[in-house]
Amino acid sequence: VQLQASGGGSVQFGGSLRVSCSASGSIFSITAMGWYRQAPGKQRELVASITSGGSTNYADSVKGRFTISRDNAKNTVYLQMTSLKPEDTAVYYCNADLRPVSGSSIYTRYWGQGTLVTVSS
């Protein structure tokens, strides 16, 4: 099982960007998926999460600007980012709480490799 993130890049202040993350491999099911970010010199923080039923949760700093969504058929989670600010600059990591087909029946959090988002002023 692996998570592959894509879509990061550089954008100017006020711009938009969408990042995606797909889970692949022998997956039995996925519950929550989400995005965290880590800026230089700071701790990793939650950006947004979404359950398999579509319930969402956002960090206060991104409410009204970011939208998380998912395609359960594709095991993919998206993060649409608008009105980007320089303080949004960070490496964005996706995660998924999933149960593989084989092995333990416990749901485990898997992480993607991270994608860099840079917002210039």
pLDDT of residue 105: 82
**For the chain (length 121 residues), average pLDDT per consecutive 10?**
96 98 95 97 97 97 98 97 98 96 87 97 93
Distance, CA of 16 to CA of 62 (rounded, Å): 13
Residue 43 is predicted with a pLDDT of 97
Distances from the Cα of 75 to the Cα of 41, 43, 62, 67, angstroms: 31, 27, 24, 17
Q: For position 104, what pLDDT does the model report?
A: 77
What pLDDT is stored for residue 8 in this prediction?
A: 93
Tokens of 71: 């395609």
